[in-house]
Structure 1
Amino acid sequence: MVAIPGGTFNMGSPKNEPNRSHHESPQHTVTVQPFFMSKYPITQAQWRFVAQLPQINREISSEPSRFKGDTLPVEQVSWYNAVEFCHRLSKYTGRPYTLPTEAEWEYACRAGTTTPFYFGKTITGDLANYDATSNYLNEPKGQYKERTNPVGQFPPNAFGLYDMHGNVWEWCLDDWHNNYKGAPTDGSAWLDNNDNLYQKQGSAVLRGGSWDDLPEGCRSASRLSLNRAVRDLILYSFGFRVVCAFGRILQ
C-alpha cells in the first residue's frame, strides 16, 4: 500500500484534450482526503490468498484469470467479486479495504499532473501495456502484446503507483453516471440510493484502460462506457486495486 496525500485537483478532461469523451465533463474541482492505495493492481497471488479466507457474502473462484501467473494482475473478476475480496481482506486485517472511489482513482493516477497521461501529453509502448500499434499523437508505434503484463514493469507515477495506465481496467466503487453534473466534490463515492453493495444493480465505473485498448482509453480521465461496465460482467481485461481509507464504512 502507498500513502496518497490529500489534495485538490480538477477531475475530468479539458475541452481541448484529444480524443476525450463527453462522459468526462464537466471538469470540476474535487478535494480528496488522504488514503492508502495498493501499489499495483491486485495480483493473482494476492487474489488466491484472499479467496481462501472465509466467505462474507458470495463465493469467489481462486483461479479466475485467463492469463496465468502469480505476478500478473487478476482478471475476469466482476465488480461484486472485487467487493467480496475487499470485505474478506477487511475482516482478515481489521482494516477498512474498499474499491477506490472514482475521484480517488483519478486523483491517484494523475499524481499532480494535468496532462492526458501521468507521463505527459502522450504515451508509448515503453511506458504502459496497451495496443501500441495505434498512436495517440505523433509518437512512434509499438507492440500489441495481446495479454496482461507482470505488474510493476513500467515507470510509476509521482505517488509511486504502477500500471495506472493500461494492463487491466480497474473497477471503482461508484455507480455509473453519464457525466459529472451533480458529482460529489469531496472525493466520496457517487452512489445512488442503496448503499448495500451486494444489492447494487446496473453499472459501475472502470478506469485506466487495458492491454486490449487503444491509447485514448488509457488516459487519466478516461471512463469505460456504460454498456460495458455492468457489475456482473467478467472480462479478461477487467481487474482492480484496493484502497484503505479510515473512517469509510460501507455495507
Structure 2
Amino acid sequence: METYLFYTNMKRRVEALTIVLAICLITIFVRCQSNETPIQQLVVALNGDSIEMVFVKGGTFMMGCTDEQGCDCEDNEKPARKESVSDFYIGKYEVTQRLWRAVMDTDSILPFNGGCEDCPMENVSWKNAQKFIGRLNAMTGKTFRLPTEIEWEYAARGGRRSKHYKYSGSNKVDEVAWYIGNSSGGQYGEAGVPRPVGLKKSNELGLYDMSGNVWEWCGDLYTKEYKQGGKSVYPGWPFEGTYLFFRRILRGGSWGGTAKRCRVSYIDYDIENYSDEYGGFRLVMELNFSK
C-alpha cells in the first residue's frame, strides 16, 4: 500500500513538473517570437488631428515580378530586379477625409463616399495631392511628399521585415484588402464603397490598406513603355508637353478592382490631372525633417 502511494505521488509530481516545464517552454517561445525590435512611429499633430507615420529602415530588395506573384505578373512588372532605398517615414494609413479637411479647409473636392471621416480621401488627382502636400508642409514646417515607386513597393512588401507575401501583409487578399470581391453587400446590401482605413490586417511594418481600398499616387512619371533595361529607348523621352509626360504611377489596387491589381508588384498609371472614386494617396516624410 505504501509503495503504491509513493508511486502515485511521484507520478503526480512528474506530471505537474511536466506541465510547469511545458508552460515555461511556451513562455520562452512567445518571448522569442516577440523579440523583434518594435516598429518606430512618429505622430505629427495638426489642427486637432494627427498624422501617424511609420519609420521604414532602408535596404535592398527584389522589386517587380518575384516568385510569389506566380503567373499574375504583367509585362511592366518584369523582370524582377534589385533596388535599394534609404530610410524614410510613410503614413500608417491613407490620407483620410478628416485629414484632408484639416489641411485644405475646403469642400472643393467631393469624395464619392462623402461623410465617412475615417475613409480615405478619394477623387483626388496627382495635382490635387501636390497642392495638399504643399499646404501641409507650410503648416507643419516638415517635408512631406508622395512616395517614389520604389519606396512604395519596398514598404508594401514589409521592408526588412518582409515575409514575401503576394499582397501587402498576406497571401490571402481578403485578410488585408478591400477590393471588388468584398467591398459590397454589407449589412444593408449597399454597393461597393471605400471603407474606413485600418480595418483589415496590417502588413509587416504595421501599415494598413497598402493593398486595396484606394489606389495610391506615387511621385514618379510612368516610363515603362519607352525604357528598356532602365535606359531610354529614345533620348529625350518623355517629351515635355506630350500626353506621355504627364502620366504618373498608381499602386495598390482599389475597392472597385480585382484581387490581381492589389498585388504588391502591380503597376497602374494615369495622367496627373485625372481623378475618380478609386484614387487617393499616402504620405511620405523626409527623414531629416522628422525630429
Are residue 237 (structure 1) and residue 278 (structure 2) matched? yes
Q: Equivalent residues in 2 for 1:204-219 (5 A)?
A: 204-219=248-263
Residue 161 (structure 1) aligns with = 207
- SS in structure 1 of the partner of residue 209 of structure 2: coil
Equivalent of residue 28 in structure 1, options 66, 70, 81: 81
- SS in structure 2 of the partner of residue 48 of structure 1: helix
Aligned length in residues: 218
Give the TM-score of the pair, scaled to structure 1.
Answer: 0.79
- SS in structure 2 of the partner of residue 118 of structure 1: coil
Kept in 2: contact 1:170–1:207 (CA 8 A)? yes
- SS in structure 2 of the partner of residue 82 of structure 1: helix
Are residue 114 (structure 1) and residue 164 (structure 2) matched? yes
Separation in 2, partners of 1:193, 1:243: 28
Kept in 1: contact 2:170–2:176 (CA 8 A)? no
CA distances 1:92-123 after superposition (whole Å, capped 9, x unpaired): 11111000000000000000233321344342
Kept in 1: contact 2:96–2:117 (CA 8 A)? yes
Kept in 2: contact 1:6–1:33 (CA 8 A)? yes
Residue 111 (structure 2) aligns with = 65
Residue 140 (structure 1) aligns with = none
Equivalent of residue 37 in structure 1, options 90, 95, 111: 90
Residue 138 (structure 1) aligns with = none
Are residue 12 (structure 1) and residue 64 (structure 2) matched? yes
How far is the alpha carbon of 1:202 from its aligned partner?
Answer: 1.8
CA distances 1:199-247 after superposition (whole Å, capped 9, x unpaired): x9420000000000000000000111x4xx1111111000000101246
Are residue 131 (structure 1) and residue 219 (structure 2) matched? no
Kept in 1: contact 2:238–2:245 (CA 8 A)? no
Equivalent of residue 176 in structure 1, options 222, 225, 229: 222
How far is the alpha carbon of 1:132 from its aligned partner?
Answer: 1.6
Decide whether aligned partners of structure 1 residues 77 and 128 sit closer, same or farther in structure 2, where only a CA change above 3 A counts.
same
Kept in 1: contact 2:109–2:124 (CA 8 A)? no
Where in structure 2 are there 5+ consecutive unaligned residues?
1-52, 183-188, 232-236
Give the TM-score of the pair, scaled to structure 2.
Answer: 0.68
Q: Which has the higher helix share?
A: 2
Rg (Cα) greater in structure: 2
The residue type paired with residue 43 of structure 1 is T
Kept in 2: contact 1:76–1:238 (CA 8 A)? yes
How far is the alpha carbon of 1:183 from its aligned partner?
Answer: 4.2
Residue 32 (structure 2) aligns with = none
Q: CA RMSD in A?
A: 2.7
The residue type paired with residue 7 of structure 1 is G
- SS in structure 1 of the partner of residue 173 of structure 2: coil
Where in structure 1 are there 5+ consecutive unaligned residues?
53-59, 134-142, 185-190, 195-199
The residue type paired with residue 153 of structure 1 is L
Higher relative contact order (CA 8 A, sep 6+): 1
Kept in 1: contact 2:215–2:251 (CA 8 A)? yes
